[in-house]
Amino acid sequence: MDSIVNKVLDEIDLQILDILQKEGQVSNTEIASRVKLSPPATHARVKRLDNEGYISQRVSILNQEKLGFDLLSFIFISTNLHQAEQLEVLESALESMEEVLEFHLLTGEHDYLLKVMNKDRKELERFIRKLNKLGITRIQTSLSLREIKYSTVLPIWGQE
């Protein structure tokens, strides 16, 4: 046995979640046949998993290249802000920017990592200028030359 998970989710629930996280489009009927349950029973489980918050959202992943997004950057930023309010302002400002795809507080003193998607260098430059106005003291930008893997799939069966 593994963790808390198995106390509320059985094997079939995990199977369903794993199907959904890999193929969001698959029909309830199809899931039912794969987990060897009737469609209504399966549907009830999916609904339960949804209501209980195991499924955060269903989305379509668009093709970055075909839509002209050629410039993915990872930007480390540091700040010398210390008051909680100031940090909150900074965080909500960055969070609301659509080009910011991910935003993490990292270990260390007020070090953040941003994953930023832009169409081109000009847009990235504009973005970095916006950062400068927010009380950020240090900015270190790394460009992604090639995205080797991009997955939203959690390794729910563990790894060996």
Residues in 98-127 at the binding interface with its own copies, rule: CB under 8 A? 98-108, 111-113, 117, 119, 123, 126-127
Closest CA to 64 of 155, 153, 154, 146: 146
Q: Least distance to DNA from the beta carbon of 155, Å?
A: 25
DSSP 67: G
Mask of contacts with DNA, 31-70, x by CB under 7 A? ------xxxxx-xxx-x-----------------------
Q: What are the structure tokens assigned to 125, written together?
A: 């430059």
The amino acid present at 102, given as its one-letter code, is E
Q: Least distance to DNA from the beta carbon of 30, Å?
A: 7
What is the largest distance, in Å, between two alpha-carbon atoms of the chain?
Answer: 58
Q: Which is nearer to DNA, 51 or 159 (CB)?
A: 51
Q: Least distance to its own copies from the beta carbon of 98, Å?
A: 4
62 touches, from DNA, its own copies, none (C-beta below 5 to 8 Å by class): its own copies
Q: Which is nearer to DNA, 44 or 105 (CB)?
A: 44
Element containing residue 15 per DSSP (H, E):
helix 11-22
Chain centroid to Cα 40, Å, comes to 30
DSSP string, 87-111: HHHHHHHHHT-TTEEEEEEETTTTE
Can residue 69 be called a binding residue for its own copies (CB under 8 A)?
yes
Kindly list the residues in this chain that would bind DNA in the complex (CB under 7 A): 12, 27-30, 37-41, 43-45, 47
